[in-house]
A and B are shown apart, each in its own frame.
Chain A
Amino acid sequence: MTSAWVRRAISLVIVACACAFVLLASRPAHAFPWMIREGYTGCNTCHADPSGAGILTAYGRGMEEVVLRTPYKKDADPGKLGNFAWSVDLPEQLLLQTDFRNLFLTLVPSGGTTQFQDVVMQLDQSAQLKIGRFRMNGSIGYSPPSTADGNFTFTGGGLGATLTDAPGVDGALIARQYWLGVDIGKDEEFLLRAGRMNVPFGIRTIEHPFLVRQVTRTDIDKGQEHGVSLAYTGEKVRGEIMAIAGNFAIRPDDFRERGGSGFVEWMPSTKVAIGASAMITHADQARTDYDISLAAAPIWRHAYAVHARISPVKPLVILAEFDALLNSQLVAGVSENHGGVVGLLQADLQVYQGIHVLAAGEFYNGHVGETSTYNTTTATAWLGAWWFFAPHLDFRIDGVYSSGSAPGLPPSNQGTSLLAQIHGYL
């Protein structure tokens, strides 16, 4: 009798802890397209999301310890170090991950006052439960309210992925992803999903402010949409196509974009991947808060991209993406079409396992017209260093110079930014 009660109590405690993890904290932002240097052309070996980013599989956790982090002992088997909370053996059906990412940002605008920001980028709990071929995946997190004191601002992130009204006085709950899925095929090479998901387009990368991600609104921070998707991962080809029903975390409905997006990637070798993407969406009203050069009118938004991920030698990975853009609006009965381009070239150099030097150049030309706030052309240069210095912990610094801004980025983006990030996960 006593032992039965003890067992029942233990079960309740376990369930309560699991619930607390889910409720307290949502979606991690791992997305390292440069893992192609290790021969991993696809993403789903290490991530629950077949197109990359987000909660790690057990194998992905192991690989973080084996190939991503700086090793302090040669060929050491990480054992349980990659497990949830460094040691917990979870049932094989269950994935859990708690992420914390904080950014300290110094903005030195061209001709303005230096601003300092502390941004809680991520305080998320993710989970996936897989029963047979069926999957249930979701994340929930917290974004603290913004406070300002002189030229210092403390703020959260994830607007656009909020469950609750935001920004609110108590902060907001963030749910970047939640979906139900079923694995299909002999090797489960297909995944059919419905819910809120990352939009399949271009290179899926952790650097969500990259212009190619912001302008196309396909970043993994807050660019998710509700819809239905079908993903395929084969040995030499992978891809995903998504029917977009809109982002129901924003309102009113007029701003919700509906349409489709997809990408296909060909991997002729384990060190080369070449892809193409397309996206077409329609909204009853354009997001003039994203791009003030748009008219407050219905909009068709097109984006077409080609990208490549190449690792010519193991320490070096080159990532490149080029997107052609078209905004088509009907303004006072007159059709207006405006084209644009946005591009990215990034080099990731792993100088020693776990220590990366990153350099990137970007350009954007696509504002409808030059204004006092926006130049028609923006060029950006990144230089950063990243150290995966301990189990489940990494630290990163970046310096970014931008000659202007772009849709999705604040006008204050023009100038120099210095970023320092710390990220840890359980």
Chain B
Amino acid sequence: MNRSRFAFAALLAATTFALTADARISRTGTPQVAFHASGPAGMRIVGQTDELDVDDQGARVVIKVPLRNLHTGIDLRDHHMRDKYLQIGSYPNAELTVDRGALHFPTGEGAVSGDATGSMAIHGHTKNVNFHYTIARVGGQLRVGGTTHLDIRDYGIDIPSYLGVTVKPDIDVEVQFTASE
């Protein structure tokens, strides 16, 4: 009896893991994407958007962030950012492509975190980036968070400067979204 229960549990666990590893994920809910830039002597700029798409292609997961609604809180600055620096007319999205095998998913309820490498495409330039991620399974949903650090010069973006204030080229990116399997 006990042996048969153990065998059933083992089978169930194996099946669940297999499902997790192979299940396609798709975004649900409202994502949060933010970048943190800084300027001279303490100046901070935070840009945010709530647009993000997840394209699970099986072997690869592509996370796409449309930039058209990226806001920093000041309209003119947004205008400059989107049109002059990001040039979203030609390059509307930022995309992170990750091999699915590089990611670890929780086997049941719980969370895992780790570091991985993906391919980031912004402004027509692509470069490998390291990022940190956390994936938590809560109530059948995956809560995904990730952070990475970028140098905008790597993507051919001019360093923003306005009226004598020049933004530093290093920015931190933070992403949070919920996905279903």
Contact = CB atoms under 8 A, between A and B. Distances in A.
Asked if chains A and B are in direct contact (CB within 8 A), the reply is yes
B74 A67 contact: yes
Nearest to A237: B42
Given A41-B42, A45-B42, A66-B75, 18 more contacts: A42-B41, A42-B42, A44-B41, A45-B41, A50-B41, A57-B163, A57-B164, A57-B165, A59-B162, A59-B163, A59-B164, A62-B162, A76-B76, A77-B76, A82-B163, A92-B164, A188-B40, A314-B73
B74 A38 contact: yes
Contacts of B76: 66, 75-77
B79 to A, nearest CB: 5
Contacts of B162: 59, 62
B46 interface: yes
A45 B73 contact: no
A380 B17 CA distance: 67
B76 to A, nearest CB: 5
Contacts of B79: 75
B38 interface: yes
Interface string B106-127: 0000000000000000000000
Nearest to A191: B41
**Nearest 8 CB-CB pairings of A with B:** A233-B42, A42-B42, A62-B163, A59-B163, A59-B165, A58-B163, A233-B41, A58-B164
15 contacts: A38-B74, A39-B45, A39-B74, A40-B43, A57-B165, A58-B164, A59-B162, A61-B163, A75-B76, A77-B76, A82-B163, A187-B40, A188-B41, A189-B42, A270-B44
Contacts of A235: 38, 42-44
Contacts of A77: 76
B31 interface: no
Contacts of A238: 42
Interface string A178-204: 000000000111000000000000000
Contacts of A187: 40-41
Interface residues of B, number: 20
Interface of A: 38-42, 44-45, 50, 57-59, 61-62, 66-67, 74-77, 82, 92, 187-189, 233-235, 238, 270, 314
A66 B74 contact: yes
Interface in B1-53: 38-46
Contacts of A59: 162-165
Contacts of A57: 163-165
Contacts of A42: 41-43
Interface string B65-83: 0000000111111010000
B165 A45 contact: yes
A45 B44 CA distance: 10
Contact of A45 (B39, B46, B77): B39
B73 A38 contact: yes
A234 B44 CA distance: 10
B145 to A, nearest CB: 18
A66 B72 CA distance: 13
A123 to B, nearest CB: 27
B126 to A, nearest CB: 30
B165 A74 contact: no
Interface in B132-149: none
A9 B20 CA distance: 81
Contacts of A58: 163-164
Contacts of A188: 40-41
B69 to A, nearest CB: 15
B48 to A, nearest CB: 11
Nearest to A188: B41
Nearest to B164: A58
A332 to B, nearest CB: 50
Interface string B144-166: 00000000000000000011110
Nearest to A40: B43
A234 B42 contact: yes
A39 B73 CA distance: 8
Contacts of A189: 41-42
Contact of A75 (B41, B44, B75): B75
Contact of A270 (B46, B75, B164): B46
B83 to A, nearest CB: 10
